[in-house]
Amino acid sequence: MIQIKISNHLRLTLLAVGLYLVFPYLLPGQEVDLLVSPGKLSKVHSQWGGINNCNQCHTEKKKADPLKCLTCHKDLAERINNGKGYHKDKKMECIYCHPEHQGEDFKLIEWSVKEFDHEETGYPLTGLHKKIIDCDKCHTLANTVPGKKGKSYLLKDTACGDCHTDIHLKQFNKNCEACHSTDGFKGELLKFNHQTDSTYALQGKHAALACEKCHMKKKQTFPGGPGEAVLYKPISAQCTACHEDFHRGQLDNDCRKCHTLDAFKPAPGFNHQKTRFPLTGFHEGLECGKCHPRIGLTVAGEMVETIKYKPLGAVCMDCHRDFDHSRTAFVLTGKHRGQDCRACHNEKNPNTRKTRNTQAGMFECRVCHASPHPGQGQRQDCPECHTTETWRVDSW
């Protein structure tokens, strides 16, 4: 008689099949696979349950075939082929971390988070990321690769914006790492250099300013949409974008023609000699306020007080309205009364108020008038024939 050796596993299989054939009413259809399976499949693999689907994952030798895993998990297969991510060198090791038949609610991951080396993923945890002990802080359903039925540790991207809110609302085109690091978000840890990374280098008093002095929170529409954020750009480089116009529109908008970034006063760029009214004589020592008084101006429908710079009259009487020449040593009479002050008070004739010295002969006609008598020299007896009313002589 020929004896056939039957393994215990085969005996159990044959027994299970026999029981099912004999007592089909004892077992529901979806439970029959448990007679030959070590346990139920997880929910994500439940469509492959049943004795007719074993070869979807297993070989004839009952082993799970990693290559069959990658037939379905095409995204991982692509990363492995490209040498990317945690699985790049684990092509044949699926079962060690992802065992199956552990029940419907098993998460298909069996590992120790403490022993997991995140650097193997190609994204090492640095700075403040090292302190995150809850993987779910980053590995959320929202960040999972599209097409997954549930949360996956495979993220669709590692860009900062996938986890962090863009507080700048897309004012910058650069990657966040251009200015920030995982060590911290602001303060001394900020890598931004205003001198080299912007179009407006900070000089003078600007260099010591706190950022919020110029970059204030605004509620408006940004490149990323409407919202509230600190406005970084565009910001005008015009002084009046941040500073009140002290001159109330009287002067040029380019403040730097007169002022510097080190201080508002004095204004070294301003030279009164280059204006239409160069300062000479007694005017040279005057305080600015003597000619430039504080006045009221209407600006945008509102009355404001400011210093008047222009327009100012260039005629003496525009400033010296109340001056009484009769109180001087030379009373104005006749034609002298209508003359412009500078006809007499000029470089040729020193200002007696400045010198406080009335020199002999200073008020003689020849000081201002040339002699009309050719060949007779400069006569000094003009009043004997002429008056201040007219030069004409009817008789002598």
The tokens for 298 are 């209407």
Residue that wins the pLDDT comparison between 302 and 193: 193
Predicted pLDDT of residue 378? 61
The boundaries of the domain holding residue 102 are 38-111
Q: Which of 50-59, 245-254, 310-319, 370-379 has the lowest mean pLDDT?
A: 370-379
Could you say which of 264, 294, 312 is where a domain stops? Answer: 312
Looking at the domain assignment, is residue 301 inside a domain?
A: yes
pTM of the shown model: 0.60
pLDDT at 225 over 90: yes
Predicted pLDDT of residue 30? 47
Going by pLDDT thresholds of 50, 70 and 90, the confidence category of residue 10 is low
Number of domains in the chain: 4
Looking at the domain assignment, is residue 30 inside a domain?
A: yes
Long-range contacts of 335-343 (CB under 8 A, 24+ apart): 335/388, 335/389, 335/390, 336/388, 340/315, 340/316, 341/316, 341/317, 342/316, 343/368
Same domain, 280 and 297: yes
Handedness of CA 218, 240, 262, 232 (dihedral sign): positive
Same domain, 53 and 87: yes
CA distance 90 to 93: 5
The tokens for 240 are 């009046």
Predicted pLDDT of residue 12? 54
Judge whether 253 and 240 are in contact, CB under 8 Å: yes
Q: What is the average per-residue pLDDT within 359-365? A: 67
Looking at the domain assignment, is residue 263 inside a domain?
A: yes
Judge whether 181 and 191 are in contact, CB under 8 Å: yes
CA distance 166 to 82: 30
User: CA dist 104 to 34, 55, 87, 140, 144, Å?
Assistant: 13, 20, 25, 21, 21
Reported as a single tens digit per residue, the pLDDT across 44-103 is: 888 888 888 888 888 877 788 889 999 988 888 988 999 988 888 888 888 888 899 999
Strand pairing partners for 303? 298
Reported as a single tens digit per residue, the pLDDT across 128-180 is: 999 988 888 888 888 888 777 667 788 888 888 888 889 999 998 778 888 89
Same domain, 101 and 131: no
CA distance 315 to 185: 63
Looking at the domain assignment, is residue 13 inside a domain?
A: yes
Q: What is the mean pLDDT of the chain?
A: 81
Predicted pLDDT of residue 29? 46
The fraction of the chain above a pLDDT of 90, given in percent, is: 13
